[in-house]
A = this chain, B = another copy of it.
Amino acid sequence: MKIGFVGVGIMGRPMAGHLRADGHELLLVRHRSPLPADLLEAGASVRDSAAEVARDADVVILMLPDTPDVEDALFGADGVAAGLSGGKLVIDMSSIDPIATRGFAERIQALDCDYVDAPVSGGEVGARAASLTIMVGGSDAAFARAQPLLALMGKNITHIGAAGAGQITKVANQIIVALNIEAVAEALVFAAKAGADPAKVRAALMGGFAASRVLEVHGERMVKRTFDPGFRIALHQKDLGLALSGAKALGLSLPSTASTQQLFSACVAQGDGDRDHSAMVKALELLAGITL
């Protein structure tokens, strides 16, 4: 199949590589910065614009940083929409605004094309290992078309509902992960300040109702002080921004998401925006006057 891939950065590059390795033709958009040499060596061809990629490909996949990037790639001058013809499939694997996504899906469907939103979790490690968790929104027919390609990039692939439902699920994921990090951070800072060994406290809690992937993975990073990303605080801040702007637009209250976002802001203020999100504990340590 001819697959256009827009956004071959840290995540997109290995994801596109898996598609190519399976024998698909890969079409990339020419950039000011050089395209990844491994993809070019593997035979990816290059077009001058997203519109040309969309014209020549059967499927266009996007993996971009944020909502405006996706909007521009889809609907900007020489964007994907300008090159689409009926029957093609657009898969947005970026993590962006669920409400904006519904609008993007409608505009692509108006061109007689299919649209699925398929944001991922699992980070660079998951992208390289083709083990991403993928949360999908779109019609049953669109999901059925996308599924074999998604299966080349990830493992847990769940069709949640109509267009936008993938992005909604990704936001829900990011809310839980951020608040679970804060939960573990508050608990370990409390324990340390009260005079208990946070490593022993963490180990004791792993067997009970406090058990979580975050206690396991991020709790260990806090105790061992390994804050190399992982997943950057600045990116998680973007994701909680989607949750909070979505909450405002939809009319609901997310009190802990809001306060956790403020702690991420404190981390950015301390110069820790590029550290792993488990470094949130440093903001609480600062307020407590201790280090774990």
Contact = CB atoms under 8 A, between A and B. Distances in A.
B172 A187 contact: yes
Interface in A172-206: 172-173, 175-180, 182-184, 186-191, 193-197, 200-201, 203-205
Contact of A196 (B169, B179, B217): B169
Contacts of A161: 195-197, 200
Given A173-B210, A190-B172, A196 B160 contact: yes
Contacts of A197: 160-161, 165
Contacts of A212: 176, 180, 211-215
A259 interface: yes
A278 B216 CA distance: 22
Nearest to A186: B254
A177 B210 contact: yes
Interface stretch (A27-35, A43-51, A88-96, A242-250): A242-250
A273 interface: no
Residues of A contacting B: mostly: helix
Contact of A175 (B183, B200, B262): B183
A256 B210 contact: no
B183 A176 contact: yes
A237 interface: no
Contacts of A217: 209
A164 interface: yes
Contacts of A184: 176
Given A179-B182, A179-B183, A208-B122, A260 B253 contact: no
A9 B177 CA distance: 37
Given A175-B187, A203-B158, A259-B256, A250 B208 contact: no
A98 interface: yes
A171 B186 contact: no
A135 interface: yes
Contacts of A139: none
Given A208-B156, A217-B209, A251-B288, A172 B193 contact: no
Contact of A180 (B99, B210, B259): B210
A252 interface: yes
A82 interface: no
11 contacts: A156-B204, A164-B194, A164-B196, A171-B191, A177-B209, A179-B183, A186-B255, A190-B247, A193-B250, A208-B213, A211-B213
